Amino acid sequence: MSGNGHKIELPANIVIRDLAQIVEKSPIEIIKKLMTNGVMATINQPVDFDTAAIVVAEYGFEAVPEAVAEAPKEEVGEVPMWRQMIAGEDNSLLKGRPPVVTILGHVDHGKTSLLDAIRQTDVAAGEAGGITQHIGAYQVEQKGRIVTFLDTPGHAAFTAMRARGAQGADVVVLVVAADDGVMPQTKEAIAHAKAARVPIIVALNKVDKPNANPERVKQQLAEQELVPDDWGGQTLVVPVSAKQKKGISDLLEAILLVADNTDIRANPGGKVIGTIIEAELDKTKGVVATLLVQNGTLQAGDIVVAGTAFGRIKAMADFHGKPMKKATPSTPALVMGLSDMPSAGDIFEVVATDREAREIVTERADAIKKKSQERKKVSLEDLFSSYEKGEAKSLNLVLKADVQGSLEPIIGELDKLGKGEITINVLYAETGNIGENDVMLASASKAIILGFSVQAEVAARRLAEAEGVDVRLYDIIYRLTEDIEKALKGMLAPEFVEKTLGKAQVLKVFGISKVGKIAGCRVIEGELRRNGKVRMKRGADIVFEGDFSSLKHEKDDVREVRTGFECGVGLRNFHDIESGDIIECYVLEKAE
Ligand code: GDP
C-alpha cells in the first residue's frame, strides 16, 4: 500500500509493533528499514517521532504529531474485587487513603535494602523503639502524609495476590540497579505491574557505585516502554542509593505525586474488606496474620472471614507491635484470633455473626472442592468456545524462546494473526526455559505459555498442572503460529498429553556397519515400548526426539523391555549416542 503523501498522526514515541501496524507492514520490515538508517530496535522498542516520521515517509506517508492523547492500550487483568467494591460505594463517602506500594525488581538489585532504608528514615518508627519485627507491611510518613509499603520478599506474594484477584498495591516501585540495568526479573516485574494496571515508578538504585550507568538504564527502560520523564516520557525515574540512604525522600515524593494522579480512595465507614499479607502460626499466640485494610475500618472484636479461615479478632496491633483498636483503609494490622491459616493474597471481610462466618467458610470449602474436580483450564481448545460465548476477546500469551533471535519473528507472526476479531497480547517474551514465575504470570493473567525450542522446568510443569495453565512447546515456528491460527478459528485438533512410559540408561555404544550406532541400555524405570516415542537426554540437554528404529532384547526384536532388563536400541536417523545418555520413552494420549 502506498500512502501518496497521506498524513498520519504519530505520538511522541511509538513502539515498532504499532508503527508497523499503522503502515501495514511487517515489524521485521520496519526493523530492517531502521537498521539501514542506522537505528537498531526490537519490536517492543519505542522510537521517537522524528525516527518514526522517516520510516513512514519511506512508505509515502507524511507524519504529523498526534493531536489527542494516545488512546489507552487495551487493558489486561481483572479489576480486583475490593476495587470493584470501592467503585460501588457512594462517591460522597469516599475519602483519600495512603497509597499502598510494593517493591519489585531483579534479585540483588536492592529491594530488601531499599525497604530497610525507607523504614529507617522514618522518624516515627525510630521513636517507637525501632522495632524491626517483620510483619509484611509498614507505613512511613513523608511531610505529614502516610505511605504504606508491602514488605514481602520478592514478588512471589505480589503474584499470588494478583493470581487471586486481590491486587494489593496502588503503585509499584521497580528497583533497577544502575550498575546492572534491566534484567529478566525486571521485565517480569514490568509485565506483572502492567497486567495488574498498577503505575510504575523506577528507583534507580546503587547510583553510589563507580560503575553505575544511569543513562544506559534509562535507554533500557525506554525499550520496555517505560520512557523516563526527563526524556519526555511518563515514567518517574528516581536515582537512589539504598546503601547510603540517599534519594529516599525523593522516592517518597515521587510516590505521592503518582498517588495524587491516581484515584486512591476508600470509604472508611463502608464494608470492611482487605487482603491477607502474611500469616504464621505462633506456638503460644495461634494464628498471627497481617491484614491490609482496603475499605471500611477494622476493629478489635470484629468477626473476620479470610479464604476458609475465620474468627473473632482477639487482639490487634499496628506494624510497630503496639496495640491498636481500629485500622482504617491502607492500614496494615496484625491480628490474632483466626481459626486457621489464611493464605497470603486471600481477601478478608468482616461479617456480623459467627454463624454467617461458618456458612461462608463451608460454602467456600465446597466450592474449592468442586473447582478442583473440574479444574477449569485456559487452554487453546477452550479459547474459541469462550470467544463464541463472548467471554474472551483477547488471547494472552507468555512466550519463551531459546534465543532473542527467535522471539522477534514469532512475535511478528503472532501480531499478524492478532488482527482479526480476537486480539493477541504477548504479556511477556523472554529467552530461557519455562520456569515457575512464567506459570504464575500466566495463571494470574489467564494466559497460555508458548515455548519455542525450550523446556518447561519440572517445578514449572507441576505448577502449571496445579494451576491449570496450558503450556505448549514447539520446535518449528510455523507449527506454533499454525496452532494459534487454528485456535483463533476454532479448528484446533484435540490436545495430546505426554505420558512417560519409562527410562533407560545407555551403558555402551556399538557401531554396526550399514545399521549405524546401537545403544546397549538398561531399563531403569518403567518400560521401553517399540512403538513409543523417544527422547534422549545428555545431562540437561535433549539430544534427540523421535522414534526407535529398532528395539532388541538379546538378539530378538521385541515390543517392549521392562525395568531391570538390558536391551539394544536403535534411533531413527540418529547415531550420535554416548554412554551415560538417558533414553526416555513416552506416548501421546488424547487429553480427556
Ligand atoms: P534484593 O535481592 O533485591 O533484595 O537485594 P538486596 O537488598 O539484598 O541487595 C543486594 C546487594 O546489593 C547487597 O549486597 C546490598 O548491600 C547491595 N546494595 C543494595 N543497595 C545498594 C546501593 O544502593 N549501593 C550499593 N553499593 N550496594 C547496594
DSSP readout, 323-383?
A: B-SEE-TT-EEEEEEESSPPPTT-EEEEES-HHHHHHHHHHHHHHHHHHHHH---B-HHHH
Q: What is the mean pLDDT of residues 143-167?
A: 65
pLDDT higher than threshold 70 for residue 166: no
- SS3 per residue for 185-198: HHHHHHHHHHHCCC
| Percent helix, strand and coil across the chain, each to the nearest 5 | 30, 35, 35
Enumerate the CATH 3.40.50.300 domain ranges in the chain, comma separated. Answer: 98-263
| pLDDT value, residue 192 | 79
Q: What is the mean pLDDT of residues 252-281?
A: 91
Task: Give ∠ CA 252-256-260 in degrees, rounded to 5.
Answer: 170
Comparing 130-134, 320-324, 502-506, which segment has the lowest mean pLDDT? 130-134
pLDDT higher than threshold 70 for residue 491: no
**CATH architecture of the domain with residue range 98-263:** 3-Layer(aba) Sandwich (3.40)
Query: Of 97, 109, 99, which Cα lies nearest the Cα of 187?
Result: 109
Q: Residue 243: CB within 6 Å of ligand 1? A: yes
pLDDT higher than threshold 70 for residue 143: yes
C-alpha cell at 308: 476458609
C-alpha cell at 261: 494522579
What mean pLDDT is reported for the chain?
83
Nearest CA to ligand 1 atom 19: 110
Say how far apart CA 545 and CA 582 lie, in whole Å: 12
| pLDDT value, residue 148 | 94
| pLDDT value, residue 591 | 65
| pLDDT value, residue 4 | 54
61 within 8 A of 5, measured Cβ to Cβ: yes
Which CATH superfamily groups domain 380-491? Translation initiation factor IF- 2, domain 3 (3.40.50.10050)
Q: Closest ligand 1 atom, CA of 117?
A: 20
Say how far apart CA 11 and CA 158 lie, in whole Å: 32
Q: Residue 185: CB within 6 Å of ligand 1? A: no
Q: What is the mean pLDDT of residues 147-152?
A: 86
In the chain, % of residues over pLDDT 70: 85
| pLDDT value, residue 68 | 43
pLDDT higher than threshold 80 for residue 517: yes
Non-local CB neighbours of 592 within 8 Å, separated by 6+ positions: none
For residue 562, give the H/E element and its range.
strand 560-562
CATH topology of domain 273-373: Elongation Factor Tu (Ef-tu); domain 3 (2.40.30)
pLDDT higher than threshold 80 for residue 258: yes
Q: Residue 206: CB within 6 Å of ligand 1? A: yes
SS3 405: helix
CA of 113 relative to ligand 1 center, distance in Å:
6
| pLDDT value, residue 75 | 39
pLDDT higher than threshold 50 for residue 164: no
Comparing 52-66, 126-140, 247-261, 561-575, which segment has the lowest mean pLDDT? 126-140
Q: Residue 241: CB within 6 Å of ligand 1? A: yes
Mutate to test the pocket of ligand 1, among 103, 107, 113 (most ligand atoms within 8 A of CB): 113
Say how far apart CA 197 and CA 459 lie, in whole Å: 28
pLDDT band at 165 (very low <50, low <70, confident <90, very high): very low
pLDDT higher than threshold 80 for residue 83: no
Helices 27-36 and 16-23 cross at an angle (nearest 10°) of 110
pLDDT higher than threshold 90 for residue 336: yes
| pLDDT value, residue 96 | 92
pLDDT band at 541 (very low <50, low <70, confident <90, very high): confident
CA of 68 relative to ligand 1 center, distance in Å:
42
Enumerate the CATH 3.40.50.10050 domain ranges in the chain, comma separated. Answer: 380-491
In the chain, % of residues over pLDDT 90: 40
Q: Closest ligand 1 atom, CA of 154?
A: 4
Say how far apart CA 528 and CA 409 lie, in whole Å: 38
Q: Which residue would you say has higher pLDDT here, 345 or 453?
A: 453
CA of 110 relative to ligand 1 center, distance in Å:
4
Nearest CA to ligand 1 atom 11: 108
Amino acid at 391: E
Exposure string over 22-41, b if 16+ CB within 10 A, otherwise e? bbebebbebbebbeeeeeeb
CA of 230 relative to ligand 1 center, distance in Å:
25
pLDDT higher than threshold 90 for residue 497: no
pLDDT higher than threshold 50 for residue 223: yes
Q: Residue 588: CB within 6 Å of ligand 1? A: no
SS3 113: helix
Say how far apart CA 150 and CA 157 lie, in whole Å: 10
C-alpha cell at 524: 531403569
pLDDT higher than threshold 90 for residue 504: yes
Q: Tens digits of per-residue pLDDT, 307-334?
A: 889 999 999 999 988 999 999 999 999 9
CA of 195 relative to ligand 1 center, distance in Å:
27
Q: Which residue would you say has higher pLDDT here, 532 or 121?
A: 532
This prediction has a pTM of 0.58
| pLDDT value, residue 69 | 36
pLDDT band at 158 (very low <50, low <70, confident <90, very high): low
Give the gyration radius of the chain's Cα atoms: 28
Non-local CB neighbours of 39 within 8 Å, separated by 6+ positions: 47, 51
Q: Residue 87: CB within 6 Å of ligand 1? A: no
pLDDT band at 273 (very low <50, low <70, confident <90, very high): very high
Q: Residue 152: CB within 6 Å of ligand 1? A: no
Nearest CA to ligand 1 atom 18: 110
CA of 242 relative to ligand 1 center, distance in Å:
7
Q: Residue 109: CB within 6 Å of ligand 1? A: yes
Say how far apart CA 514 and CA 539 lie, in whole Å: 29
Q: Residue 239: CB within 6 Å of ligand 1? A: no
Nearest CA to ligand 1 atom 22: 206
Say how far apart CA 208 and CA 319 lie, in whole Å: 31
CA of 417 relative to ligand 1 center, distance in Å:
43
Nearest CA to ligand 1 atom 25: 206
Q: Tens digits of per-residue pLDDT, 557-574?
A: 999 999 999 999 999 888
CA of 435 relative to ligand 1 center, distance in Å:
24
CA of 177 relative to ligand 1 center, distance in Å:
8
Q: Report the range out of 23-27, 141-145, 481-485 with the highest average pLDDT.
A: 141-145
| pLDDT value, residue 3 | 47
Q: Residue 194: CB within 6 Å of ligand 1? A: no
Q: Closest ligand 1 atom, CA of 107?
A: 2
Q: Tens digits of per-residue pLDDT, 34-66?
A: 777 777 777 777 788 888 888 888 888 888 877
Nearest CA to ligand 1 atom 17: 110
Say how far apart CA 591 and CA 380 lie, in whole Å: 13
Mutate to test the pocket of ligand 1, among 102, 106, 108 (most ligand atoms within 8 A of CB): 108
CA of 190 relative to ligand 1 center, distance in Å:
20
Characterize the bridge pairing of strands 95-96 and 516-529. unpaired
CA of 259 relative to ligand 1 center, distance in Å:
26
SS3 6: strand
CA-to-CA separations, 194 to 154, 163, 199, 401, in angstroms, rounded: 17, 14, 8, 21
Q: Tens digits of per-residue pLDDT, 366-422?
A: 877 776 555 455 566 666 666 666 666 778 899 999 888 888 889 888 888 876 667
Say how far apart CA 210 and CA 249 lie, in whole Å: 23
CA of 181 relative to ligand 1 center, distance in Å:
14
Q: Residue 205: CB within 6 Å of ligand 1? A: yes
C-alpha cell at 379: 487452554
Burial of 478 (0-12, 13-18, 19+ CB in 10 A): exposed
pLDDT higher than threshold 50 for residue 483: yes
275 within 8 A of 346, measured Cβ to Cβ: yes
Amino acid at 318: D
Comparing 18-27, 198-207, 318-327, which segment has the lowest mean pLDDT? 18-27
C-alpha cell at 228: 523516563
C-alpha cell at 101: 506500594
Q: Residue 246: CB within 6 Å of ligand 1? A: no
CA-to-CA separations, 369 to 307, 308, 373, 377, 510, in angstroms, rounded: 13, 12, 6, 16, 54
Say how far apart CA 174 and CA 200 lie, in whole Å: 7
Enumerate the CATH 2.40.30.10 domain ranges in the chain, comma separated. Answer: 273-373, 496-590
| pLDDT value, residue 378 | 58
Q: Residue 107: CB within 6 Å of ligand 1? A: yes
Q: Closest ligand 1 atom, CA of 241?
A: 23
pLDDT higher than threshold 50 for residue 358: yes
pLDDT band at 74 (very low <50, low <70, confident <90, very high): very low
Q: Which residue would you say has higher pLDDT here, 264 or 440?
A: 264
The CATH class, in words, for 496-590 is mainly beta
CA of 208 relative to ligand 1 center, distance in Å:
11
23 within 8 A of 56, measured Cβ to Cβ: yes
Query: Which residue is it, cell 516502554?
Result: 225
